[in-house]
Amino acid sequence: MLGGEFHDGRTTFVYGDMFIYNLNKNEWMIIKAPGAPPPRCGHQAVTTSTNKGELWVFGGEFSSPSESQFYHYRDLWVYRFGEKKWEKILSSGGPSARSGHRMAHIKKQLVVFGGFHDNLRDYKYYNDVHIFNLETYVWHKIDIIGTPPFPRSGCILLPTPDNKLLVYGGYSKERIKKDVDKGCIHSDMFLLTPEKNDQSGLKWKWVPIKQSGIKISPRCSVPATLVQPNLAYLFGGVFDEEDNEEELRGIFYNDLVALDLEKFQWHIVTLNGKKDITTRRRRRKLKDDDGEENDIEMEDDNHMDTQEPLPTSVESRVIDDDGIFTVTIGPTQISTIDKKENIYKDVFVPSPRMNSGLVVKHNSLYLYGGLFEDENRQYTLNDFYSLDYRKLDEWNTILRDDLSSQIWYDSSDSSSDSEHTDDSDENDSDENESDPIDKQMDVDKN
């Protein structure tokens, strides 16, 4: 885990440290290496197995503690685990400065899509595609045929088993009149596919995709990771409801969703929970008394509900109330399987959030942190969970978050920094990026 940010209503902290979680010791370890990138958030990082493991990082943003100074990065870095050191890659022709973009590793290439650049006076969202060759260390901007996705940030970018790239959802905004912007959360899906018989690897086309399976609620800032070459898991996300031109209300999710990358089909992942031992004993006794099996054996396989019509709903209920804010889930869904004999206990699910970390290692799905908003307050989560994605029984709590320890300062208590600096062009080189941009940044859906 590299970088990130924390905001308490008055001060913004942007980090540049890097941590690794040791699965054997069950502890976080800080990695200190020479020549590390400057602090940032909203960047993208992917790993490769080359040279005993490499971590590639591109772009992102930085804010001063008072948020009076803000700028985007367009630099590319690599951390080599075998050598335990950083290297800044100097290669021209890369993407412009941005954050909220997405980056994927496919074959021997890094692919960067989308993102945004905002300096308060103006903003721009992107839908361009750049490819970095991991053998030649050269950037290429790709000219793509077909109708592209609308410019966006905070989307999902995933490689498919046949070396294509899937883009889903995201966030963008547009100016509808002076000083009034309207946000849009996208729910469309596209496939970026290489042209047949192209040996250069630089000819691609956009293909719109018709989605199937259940219809998930529109959302952005959703983490996604591959659990199999043809299957991805997603957790949570946020959808913004506009009460008026100035007020936004975020609806946060905590559902686990699966996406089939061959059929482009959505599934809700249903956790089994731990089996009730007393009920299992009762069932065994019935079988012994009758001489035959009188009930339906529940499968221990992955349960992904695709029944039509959608399951019925129940009333919303409070699942967390720690004195700071109340998390309410609902209405929730009950599948028809729950109408049968209940042999599973209630299943714990991490609280709703966006922008969390989601990775897979050793058949386990790991979920870390994220962001939650409650009216005008913003909470940065520090909890950590794991889930065996083969059993799909229940989330295991590795580290519980204590929200009561977070102090929020109202904006009326904060004093703004009156110093201003000149704006710089978003296409400036990395050497010019040390000149910050005057900005009071609102929270975007990265």
Q: Domains in the chain, ordered, with CATH? A: 1-209 (2.120.10.80), 212-273+348-410 (2.120.10.80)
Which pLDDT belongs to residue 119? 84
**What is the structure's pLDDT at 411?**
64
If one compares 358 and 286, the residue with the highest pLDDT of the two is 358
Q: Is 56:66 a contact under the CB 8 Å cutoff?
A: no
Higher pLDDT, residue 112 or 323 = 112
The predicted structure's pLDDT at residue 404: 82
Structure tokens at 260: 């089939």
* CB environment 218-253: b (16+ within 10 A), e (fewer): ebbbbbbbbbeeebbbbbbbbbbeeeeeeeeebebb
What is the pLDDT at residue 180?
Answer: 84
Q: pLDDT above 70 covers what percent of the chain?
A: 75
More confident residue, 95 or 240: 95
Please state the rounded mean pLDDT for residues 363-375.
94
Residue 263, Cβ density class (10 Å: 0-12 exposed, 13-18 middle, ≥19 buried): exposed
Tell me the residue type at 426. Answer: E
CA atoms 112, 114, 118, 123: torsion sign: positive
> Which one of 117-126, 268-277, 324-333, 428-437 scores highest in mean pLDDT?
117-126
Which position has the higher pLDDT, 28 or 312? 28
Nearest Cα neighbor of 63 from 442, 426, 445, 446 is: 442
What mean pLDDT is predicted for residues 388-400?
96
Q: How far apart are CA 349 and CA 397, in angstroms?
A: 10
Radius of gyration of the chain (CA): 23
**Distances in whole angstroms, Cα of residue 277 to Cα of each of 80, 348, 387:** 48, 18, 21
Residue 422 has pLDDT above 70, yes or no: no
* Whole-number Å distance between alpha carbons of 325 and 258: 29
Encode pLDDT of 53-103 as tens digits. Answer: 999 999 999 999 988 888 999 999 999 999 999 999 999 999 999 999 999
CA-nearest of 406, 398, 400, 368 to 6 is: 406
Q: In this structure, what token pair is assigned to residue 18? A: 């890097």
| Res. 356: pLDDT tops 80 | yes
pLDDT at 417 over 50: no
Question: What pLDDT shows up at residue 293?
Answer: 40
Average pLDDT over residues 161-186: 92
pTM reported for the whole predicted model: 0.80
Judged by average pLDDT, the poorest of 92-101, 341-350, 394-403 is 341-350
Closest CA relative to residue 152, chosen from 183, 130, 119: 183
On average, the pLDDT of the chain sits at: 82
For 299, the token pair is: 């499968």
> Could you report the per-residue pLDDT of 2-44, keeping only the tens digit for each?
999 999 999 999 999 999 999 999 999 999 999 999 999 999 9
Omega prior to 151 cis, within 30 of 0: no
Q: So what's the pLDDT on residue 302?
A: 47
Q: What is the mean pLDDT of residues 143-171?
A: 97
Determine whether 35 is exposed, middle or buried from the number of CB atoms within 10 Å of its CB (0-12, 13-18, 19+): exposed
SS3 content of the chain, % helix, strand, coil (to 5): 5, 50, 45
Higher pLDDT, 407 or 337: 407
Sign of CA dihedral 317, 251, 385, 188: positive
The DSSP annotation for 171-195 comes to EEEEEEETTEEEEEEEEEEEEEEEP
Cβ neighbours for 82, distance < 8 A, ≥ 6 positions apart: 51, 52, 53
Distance CA 98, CA 100 (A): 7
Predicted local confidence at residue 412, as pLDDT? 58
pLDDT of 267-305, one tens digit each? 999 999 876 554 445 444 444 455 444 333 333 444 555
Which residue carries 């994927």 as its tokens?
A: 104
From the list 183, 181, 227, the residue with the least C-alpha distance to 360 is 227
Position 200 scores a pLDDT of 82
Q: What was the pLDDT predicted at 292?
A: 43
Lowest mean pLDDT of 151-165, 197-211, 406-420, name the range: 406-420
Q: What is the pLDDT of residue 244?
A: 65
Q: Strand, coil or helix: what is 430? A: helix
Residue 415 scores a pLDDT above 70:
no
Which residue, among 417, 362, 160, 132, has the nearest Cα to 263 in the 3D structure?
Answer: 160
Q: What percent of the chain has pLDDT over 90?
A: 63
Tell me how far the alpha carbon of residue 75 is from its chain's centroid: 21
